[in-house]
């Protein structure tokens, strides 16, 4: 890859974001200014953080896939205690 091609891929892009909540934009602009940063810096950081998140599986969750979790120590009778409170048993 030539130096020119590498520079083209890393060049900043001016773009318009439509339907951005006005209150969110104002809050981002104010917070960025307080930290001496630009809105673009903050938006880039947020977008990178979003892209770093794991992609959710498109497969639907199944009840069979759920694994039981043990109750913490001292809660062995929790179900009976709840029943006594709720149902008066």
> What does the pLDDT look like over 1-44, one tens digit per residue?
555 555 556 677 888 889 999 999 999 999 999 999 999 999 99
Q: What total of structural domains would you count in the chain?
A: 1
pTM here is: 0.51
User: Do the domain assignments include residue 87?
Assistant: no
Residue 7 located in a structural domain: no
User: Is 29 domain-assigned?
Assistant: yes
Q: Could you list the residue range(s) of the whole structural domain that residue 36 is in?
A: 19-53
**What is the signed CA dihedral for 71, 75, 77, 83, rounded to 10 degrees?**
-80
- Summary mean pLDDT of the chain: 83
Q: Kindly state whether residue 60 falls inside one of the protein's structural domains.
A: no
pLDDT more than 90, % of the chain:
37
Token pair of 30, please?
């104010």
Tell me how far CA of residue 81 lies from CA of 71, 72, 76, in angstroms. 14, 15, 10
57: pLDDT confidence band, cut at 50, 70 and 90? low
């Amino acid at each position: 890859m030539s130096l020119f091609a590498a520079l083209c891929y890393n060049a900043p892009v001016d773009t318009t974001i439509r339907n951005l909540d006005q209150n969110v934009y104002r809050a981002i602009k104010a917070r960025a200014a307080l930290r001496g940063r630009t809105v673009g810096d903050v938006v880039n950081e947020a977008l990178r953080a979003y892209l770093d998140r794991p992609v959710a599986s498109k497969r639907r969750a199944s009840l069979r896939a759920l694994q039981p979790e043990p109750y913490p120590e001292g809660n062995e009778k929790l179900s009976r205690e709840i029943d006594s409170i709720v149902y008066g048993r």
